Amino acid sequence: MAYTAKIGPSILSSNLSCLGAECVRMMACGADYLHLDVMDGHFVPNLTFGHPMVECLRKSVGPDPFFDMHMMVSRPEQWVKPMSAAGANQYTFHLESTTNPGNLIKEIREAQMKVGLAIKPGTTVEEIAPWANQIDMALVMTVEPGFGGQKFMDDMMPKVSWLRSQFPSLDIQVDGGVGPDTIHRCAEAGANMIVSGSAVIGNEDPRSVIALLRTVVSEAIQKRSLDR
């Protein structure tokens, strides 16, 4: 089993007026990567930021932090090259947003980024299957994308379990309402890449929350390897 526990704070939950410092703080608190939510006001109702800010953040935090771009946009093809040039490491697009996932995966690879493929709660997990061997990570949304602070959708966990059973070495990410109260269900289902926003960033001691999330996931991975 090649996958490991990775915790990525969702920086949209941080103080946006000092985003560079917040990113540095999260990495110092033990984050494995940073999750950056890009919303275009079309694919989802909300509007966040684009590649110019990613470029500024990269200059601010240096080359090391891994930028996982969650592209909640109607035309993901349009932003592959700009995001790569801005310093993004992984480009996660929504299956629902494109008619040609295969071509988009190829474009992302050619732009020297890792490939993530995301599905909304209403999309069946089997739709990921044709692409699973061409991607680095599958993202199962555990809330409707577009807004923070929503309640975790427990009924998404069978999707995670199915992916883990079918693709044992795939990185599987969960995003939405994930924190100390819900991490056990995510870990048991087989998720290993954990996006957490307010539960980490809004806590007085982010380091301890990140450590807790990682421990729960690592223990579940260990248990799974022993059970095989």
Active-site annotation, residues: 37, 175
Annotation-wise, does 197 bind a ligand? yes
Q: Is 67 annotated as a binding residue?
A: no
Q: Is 116 annotated as a binding residue?
A: no
148 is in an annotated binding site: yes
Q: Would the annotation count 202 as a binding residue?
A: no
Distance CA 81, CA 191 (A): 29
- Our CA angle for 106, 116, 63, nearest 5°, is 95
Of how many residues is the chain composed? Answer: 228
In sequence order, what DSSP letters do the residues of 25-72 get, joined into one string? HHHHTT-S-EEEEEEBSSSSS-B---HHHHHHHHHHH-S-S-EEEEEE
Establish whether 51 is an annotated binding residue.
Answer: no
Distance between CA 51 and CA 157 in Å, rounded? 32
The pair of three-digit structure tokens given for residue 165, joined into one six-digit string: 């059973």
Distance in angstroms (rounded) separating the CA atoms of residues 228 and 226: 6
Please state the φ and ψ torsions of residue 188, each to the nearest 5 degrees: -65, -35
* Residue 198 assigned as binding residue: yes
Centroid of chain to Cα 5: 13
Q: Classify residue 173 by its DSSP letter.
A: E
> Is 138 in a helix, a strand, or coil?
strand
Q: Tell me if 14 is assigned to a ligand binding site.
A: no
Give yes or no for a contact between 176 and 141, defined as CB atoms under 8 angstroms apart.
yes
- State the burial class of residue 198 (Cβ atoms within 10 Å of its Cβ: 0-12, 13-18, 19+): middle
Q: Which residues line the annotated binding site for a divalent metal cation?
A: 35, 37, 70, 175
Annotated binding-site members for substrate = 10, 70, 146-149, 177, 197-198
Task: Name the binding residues.
Answer: 10, 35, 37, 70, 146-149, 175, 177, 197-198
